Amino acid sequence: MAASSSSRSAAAAGVLLLLLVAAAVCLHGATAQLCEDYYDDTCPDAYDIVKQVLMDAHQSDTRIFASLIRLHFHDCFVQGCDGSLLLDTVPGMQSEKESPPNNGSARGFPVVDAVKAALEDACPGVVSCADILAIAAEISVELSGGPSWGVLLGRLDGKTSDFNGSLDLPAPTDNLTVLQQKFSNLSLNDVDLVALSGGHTFGRVQCQFVTDRLYNFSGTNMPDPTLDSSYRAFLSQRCPRNGDGRVLNDLDPTTPDTFDKNYYTNIEVNRGFLSSDQELKSSPQAQGTTAPIVDQFAGSQDAFFASFAQSMINMGNIRPVTDPSQGEVRTNCRRVNGS
């Protein structure tokens, strides 16, 4: 009896293992799930191809890594991670690129074009533009000193751009309550909000996004009281009243091109550049919600890196298109196939 019971247990364990393995298989088609090895057979060098194009681009544009992760963010937050941000305007469809949150600010599109061209040369019609953004974001973070993570792949490209939807992207002037609601609408929580905001640990930002904090916070004709006075004086030199709003500034003045935890240590001393950054720590609503997470990340880069990697995966799972009847692999990221 004992031997029979043991055999049955072993058989059951074997069946369970097969089920787990089957569940992990990356399927194609309407029921497909994202997985890391999606292109292992169809375009095995995809990751290396993307990486090489990005490294080449970085030689002449030190901002490009921060710009590319922002493209992935802005793509996923509007009708899911479907490459819709990359589509150009055509009659009857206005591009998300032209909406106020993106126009004159979102950048890096020629580099995405270069990545797509290289991938089309190597494996035509295989790697989607939506997946290019996901891969490029991970590579950009890793090459800047940040964490790496297994990028889940298998997204198809959507066929529409949602200009109106892009108007509701998280904004630099949003208060904490609004930010939390926008993230919650996409099933992202406070940890995701704080971790993904850490993408502001590198890159540049225009003066126009800080002038209200310097001179007319919330219509008071006074500076933002949460802004450190010496940092405010520095920024006032960089961004004078009625000056050129396009002047660029480091989001993180301590290590502007490195992906690290300094974004959070800056916030801890009231040196967050954007109002939405400082809200995570200084808002009355932050106490007991986002402020303790800021404290944790300021004190531990390992904690930040681990949470950031997981939050990027979470964000990358926002409404991906996997059904071929609803999406495609664009041959040109700027337009729908056949257009």
Considering 58, 72, 74, 200, which one is annotated as catalytic? 74
Asked if residue 41 lies in contact with residue 159, where contact means CB atoms within 8 angstroms, the answer is: no
CA distance 249 to 255: 12
Structure tokens at 302: 């390992």
HSE-up of 21 (CA within 13 Å, CB side)? 6
Phi-psi label, residue 149: left if phi above 0, alpha if psi -120 to 50, beta otherwise: beta
Sorted by sequence, the CB contacts under 8 Å of residue 240 that are 6+ apart come out as none
Taking the alpha carbons of 202, 206, 207, 208 in that order, is the dihedral positive or negative? negative
Cα gap 161→93, rounded to integer Å: 7
72 belongs to the catalytic site = no
Q: Name the one residue in this structure whose structure tokens are 């531990």.
A: 300
DSSP state of 200: G
| Residue where the block lists tokens 């991670």 | 81
Catalytic residues, by residue number, are: 74
